[in-house]
Amino acid sequence: MSSDDLRTVLNQLAQLQAQLSALQLQHPDSIPLSTSSSTTSKVSESLSDSLFTSPDADITLKTSDNVEFKVFSRILSEASPFFATMFTLPSPSSTIDIPEESNLIDLLLRFIYPIPDPPIRSLSTLDALIATSIKYDLSGPLHSLRSLLLSPQFTSSDPFRLFCIAVRHSLSPEITLIIPHTFTLSLLEMPLTPSLHHISAHSFYRLLRLHQRRSSLAKEIIHSARANFKCPGCNATHLVNGGSSVYPSAWWNDWESRAFEELDKRPGTGVVFSPAFVARSAKAAMSSASSRRCQDCPADILNSQGSLDALRAKIDALSCEL
């Protein structure tokens, strides 16, 4: 296919997109703008039927479930050195059998073609697309898919599975960026998950050791800062630090104790520095049955918020390298 032919194909695709947009404007009820799965499926099927049945296409990809996609070799060649090399070899047929199923190839082709990327709502689908992109040396789609790994819809829902996917495909930058999201998890309390089948015991052990190191360092940072939190209304347990007397706040003693318990399970700062978690310590200080009861601790917590934020930032800045 010549450069002129490629431009013709791209123009045809642009015209198709314009026609779909015009159809939406003329008949808004026929193709709703809703992002529901059923609507997305209908629009995707319409687009796929138009894109991959062109009589001008010179290559047919036949999937394992016997669905044929008529595509342009020039577009695939530009997207993938794998296909570029394949198309230079003599072949008795323009039909290429591939082992992937049609739903996967449909999505992958839409990442290759010059149209908007399709929505990916499942980690299983994302994992399969990444594997197939690597297999066929599709750097453009792979770049987009790697970005999706870090999208909030996935980092907030299943960070450990994300970690396993990144490790499985040796995506080093993504591994480092995903790791902080695993700090919300207690690795030793997680149920057995199929994701563990896709990583080695060594990889899991390294993540576990990182969690443990980070928990230990976080507790050291918190403990070393206790002398800076002194409520004017109470004198808590007398401590000795470097030869000088230290009287941390009653609320701090309660908060530090509970924070250590939480950090032993999960090394993230989201829970221990949350307003609800800290407020429990104010309530404990006010209702204590001992001589350490203090009505001034709630105000001291409010006055200490800046120091708590700085403490949290110091912990968050700890290394996330395995």
**pLDDT for 42 beyond 60:** no
> Could you say which of 183, 214, 230 is where a domain stops?
183
User: Measured between alpha carbons, how far is 70 from 56 in angstroms, rounded to an integer?
Assistant: 9
- Return the pLDDT at 11: 58
- Return the pLDDT at 287: 80
Whether residue 18 lies inside any domain: the answer is no
Same domain, 153 and 98: yes
Whether residue 311 lies inside any domain: the answer is yes
Q: Backbone phi, then psi, for 216, in 5-degree steps?
A: -65, -45
Please indicate whether residue 288 or residue 143 has the higher confidence score (pLDDT): 143
- Burial grade of 175 (CB within 10 A; 0-12, 13-18, 19 or more): buried
pLDDT tens string 82-133: 999 999 988 768 899 999 999 999 999 999 999 999 999 999 999 999 999 9
> Could you say which of 131, 148, 183 is where a domain stops?
183
Domain that holds residue 249: 203-316
- The chain-wide mean pLDDT, for the chain, equals 84
Stated pTM of the model: 0.78
Whether residue 96 lies inside any domain: the answer is yes
43-50: which pairs have CB atoms within 8 A and are 24 or more residues apart? 44/106, 44/110, 44/118, 46/20, 47/20, 47/110, 47/115, 48/106, 48/110, 50/16
- Return the pLDDT at 38: 44
Please state the domain count of the chain.
Answer: 2
**pLDDT for 55 beyond 50:** yes
- Return the pLDDT at 233: 79
**pLDDT for 261 beyond 90:** yes
Q: Which of 136-140, 241-245, 282-286 has the highest mean pLDDT?
A: 136-140
Q: In what order do the strands lie in the sheet containing 59-62?
A: 68-71, 59-62, 95-97
Same domain, 152 and 232: no
Whether residue 46 lies inside any domain: the answer is yes
* 53: DSSP letter: B
- Return the pLDDT at 243: 53
- Return the pLDDT at 17: 52
- Burial grade of 183 (CB within 10 A; 0-12, 13-18, 19 or more): buried
Same domain, 171 and 226: no
H helices of 189-249, in order, are: 201-224
Interval 148-153 mean pLDDT? 95
- Return the pLDDT at 31: 33
The lowest-confidence range among 64-68, 175-179, 283-287 is 283-287
pLDDT tens string 264-308: 999 999 999 999 999 999 888 888 655 557 888 889 899 999 999
Same domain, 127 and 236: no
User: Measured between alpha carbons, how far is 248 from 225 in angstroms, rounded to an integer?
Assistant: 10
**pLDDT for 176 beyond 50:** yes
256-261: which pairs have CB atoms within 8 A and are 24 or more residues apart? 256/222, 256/223, 256/226, 259/219, 259/222, 260/219, 260/222
